Amino acid sequence: MEKLVNGFLKFRSEVFGNKKVLFTRLSQSQAPRALFITCSDSRVDPTLLTQTDPGELFILRNAGNIVPPYGSMQGGTTATIEYAMAVLKVPHIIVCGHTDCGVMKALLNPEDVKNLPAVKEWLSQAETTRRLMRELHADITGNDRLIKTTQENVRAQLEHLRTHPSVALQLRKS
């Protein structure tokens, strides 16, 4: 915890002053370049990966970078997508999966989350990925199976995004 407090103090004393113009502008409005949807895994840092400054990405993080199809689950993910598209008019959406994802492992091994009811329920939103792996990629094993699951999950979430009215509207306009 001490490292986090010291980091904040350093930000306040050194970084904030050096970027005061940026932070002053951002205090008035935002115009992010993209909605970046990724896993809440601590090893994934969207701004580090993209080398962006505050205000450039509107970031949505959740376990497994899952986008529930519209109407299946109203909550923070759906609200974030709607706000990004309808209010901020974000021009791009990025869905970023990652290696060694615990959620993708749980999709392949549901028994690992049998005692985690909230995680188990959340995984139901990735049923498309689970079925794709079972039906189309049953022959893939080991780490290659986990990598393929991650890839299929990103594709499935892109399809789910199209079910959101605010996304569908922006796609039709472009």
Positions annotated as catalytic residues are 39, 41, 43, 98, 101
Nearest-angstrom CA–CA distance, 90 and 116: 34
Q: Where are the beta strands (DSSP E) in the chain?
A: 34-39, 57-62, 93-96
Rounded Cα distance, 159 and 20, in Å: 40
Q: Are 47 and 34 in contact (CB under 8 A)?
A: no
Amino acid at 42: S
Query: What distance in Å separates the CA atoms of residue 93 and residue 25, rounded to the nearest whole number?
Result: 23
SS3 126: helix
Q: Which residue has the tokens 């306009």?
A: 173
